[in-house]
Amino acid sequence: MVMNGIRTFHHRDGAARLVCFPHAGGGASAFTALAAALPDDIEVHAVQYPGRQERHREPCAETIEELAAAAATALSGYDDRPLFLLGHSMGALVAFETARRLRGRAEVTRVFASAARAPSAEWEEPDVDRLTDEQMVDGLRLLGGVPEAVLADPETTAEILRQLRADVRALRRYRCGDRAAVAAPLTVVLGTRDPKNSVAQMAEWARHTTGDHAVETLPGGHFALLEHPAEVAELLTRSIRADLDEHANAARRPDAPAPADLVRRILVAGLDGTRPPLSTDLTTLEETARSKLTPDAFAYVAGTAGSGATGRANRAAFERRLLVPRMLRGTVRRDLGVRLAGQRLPAPVLLAPVAAQTVVHPEGELATARAAAAVGLPFVLSTFAGHSLEEVAGQSGQVPRWFQLYLPSDRKVAESLVRRAEASGYTAIVLTVDAAWLGFRPMELDNAYSPFLRGTGIANFTTDPAFRAGLPDASDPAAMVRRWAEISIDPSADWDGLAWLREATDLPVFVKGILHPDDARLAVEHGAHGLVVSNHGGRQLDGSVPALDALPAVSAAVAGRVPVLLDSGVRSGTDVIKALALGADAVLLGRPYVYGLGLAGRQGVEHVLRSLLADLDLALALTGCASPADITPDLITNPPLPSLPVD
């Protein structure tokens, strides 16, 4: 059966799904024998390209990207179990591009590439429009894969050549940069007698993944994958099951320590006189940082707009809500994990984008990324970072990473930043919309200090080819700062800017800075995949509504159509529970981890994150919840504000 271009060989309630992509001129039926050879715990599907078999009346695709976009759309709902992609020959490129487009929509656990050179390599495909049918058939005989009896039938051969010519044209049009990569590990499969490819050429695939890379060989030629289904099934099963074991969530294992075990470790260490390096009360870190950071650095991180009323209101909104715990609910074992943007996260917490982190520590975002990876939480990298997005990706391991974008007025620079994020394995874009103009921040103004005007926090621009192309002198630091100031943010941007971004990338786009329910509806109408309810931590508009107070109306406005996140004021595990009870799917933590960074580098960030997760784990248990899914609105109450005395 073929639905949405995907053939399902057997519906199996297995642990994993394997989706196969055919070679040039091939169809989904090429994988029939392999599907039969695989065990019952692997459900097998194959992509049916247009122009062949059940879809023979449709025109063939003109590009690899067209095939990948259609496949990614069809597979975007396949996020309920681990997903593996297998592409043979041309299908390896389609699988690779599909995996890139699935970031944030469905998690790809591994990509298998068979009998294919790397995406950025020169495939040396002939110009089929200059070849006769006889020459095309000679090429088919060289590679094998088509029985001689089939080639002896003129009508069948003509149909194969029609499909093959269209697919080779698509291959010749395909272009891929050296830095384009998938976040999933890659296994390359090659026949030992493949006349078209060599083991040395397969090594080039390593540059196209941020995960591990392996090469497996099989006896046979270019079509060894399809000619030896039993051996291939054994290879695939071994690899898939190993990945399933490795990716099993640690929180589900009985012997894995719960985040709350941090409390026991701290108290036991205290018997030897050891104390935590920083306070576990994250609300106190600001005062500690005040005495340790330079005045400029502290003013930049802690500063808020105007009188600071919005910043204070953010905290007051959390403190005003009170928890109403439930008892005797059997919460001895808890799972903090959630699914968000097609990926499973160990907790409903992400690290918020904070610009220019090198202001507080020379390693800046690199140290933060390493700490986030150690804990397993996604890091959202700011456009205005002190290190380039490629450098940060190199420190992030296999943990999901998102890229926050301030939309530049120069759309070529905007597109270049997005392309770099895609190529570096970022799995979502966070478009910040509440900072078209810089807020009035007295702490920074009183110090007459901006890190950006001093060349800090603009690394993603100074390393960007589109940005540098617009410089009169790329070696002049002052010219770089001037151009950054001119184009880094587009104050004229409207909802068309979101629509433009949606067209520019296949990554999910979250819109950050939403407070009004009507804006939430508009964001969804213009293609947002998710929202972040935020007032920028009180740094933009003084006197605006606290983010937590705005959350219920925004959540109601989108009615579950897209996930809703929240930042601004989160300081504790109980804050996370309150946000989830009011309609958030996850929260973003900002200033506390930056204070940790400034006070103790990577170890400080990791301390902050583990403290928050331990608090959240215990708060779940003490409210009677075994997981975030158990958090309901009736867990909190919002007492009325005290009435003022009447004169």
Question: Cα(168)–Cα(234) distance, rounded to whole angstroms?
Answer: 31
* CA angle, 200 then 206 then 209, to 5°: 155
**3-class SS letters over 242-259:** HHHHHHCCHHHCCCCCCC
Q: Which of 23, 45, 361, 536 is catalytic?
A: 536
Query: Any idea what DSSP says for residue 338?
Result: E
d(CA 91, CA 70): 13
Q: Within 13 A of 445's CA, how many CA atoms are on the CB side? A: 10
User: What is the helix (H) or strand (E) element at residue 646, kind and residue range?
Assistant: none
Going from the C-alpha of 83 to that of each of 7, 109, 585, the distances in angstroms are 15, 6, 23
Name which of 136, 175, 207, 166 is nearest 61 in CA terms.
Answer: 166
- Among the residues of 526-590, which ranges form H helices? 547-558, 573-581
Looking only at the bridges linking them, the beta strands covering 636-637 and 322-323 are antiparallel
- Between CA 98 and CA 75 the distance in angstroms is 9
In angstroms, rounded to a whole number, what is the distance separating the alpha carbons of residues 203 and 210? Answer: 14
8 Å CB contact between 235 and 218? yes
Nearest to 584 by CA among 530, 640, 517, 507: 530
Closest by Cα among 395, 305, 392, 334 to 577: 334
Q: How many CB atoms lie within 10 A of CB 453?
A: 15
Rounded to whole angstroms, the Cα distance separating 431 from 18 reads 33
The question of whether 536 is a catalytic residue gets the answer yes
Q: Looking up tokens 């990554």, which residue turns up?
A: 507
Look-up of token digits 């953010």: 314
Q: For residue 370, what are the CA distances in angstroms to 337, 430, 459, 548?
A: 20, 20, 18, 29
Q: Please answer whether residues 578 and 598 qualify as being in contact, where contact means their C-beta atoms are separated by less than 8 angstroms.
A: no
Beta strands in 192-271 (DSSP E): 213-218
Query: If we measure between CA atoms, which residue out of 137, 101, 109, 113 comes closest to residue 23?
Result: 113
What Å distances lie between residue 252 and 249, 257, 331, 493, 626, CA to CA? 6, 10, 14, 45, 12
| DSSP letter for each residue of 482-515 | HHHHHHSS-TT--HHHHHHHHHH-SS-EEEEEE-
**Single-letter amino acid, residue 242:** A
Q: Do residues 17 and 240 touch, judged by C-beta distance below 8 A?
A: no
Q: Which two tokens stand for residue 131?
A: 């070849």
How many whole angstroms separate alpha carbon 61 and alpha carbon 166? Answer: 7
Other CB atoms closer than 10 Å to residue 444's CB: what's the count? 20
* Residue length of the chain: 647
Cβ atoms of residues 495 and 433 within 8 Å: no
Give catalytic residue positions. Answer: 536
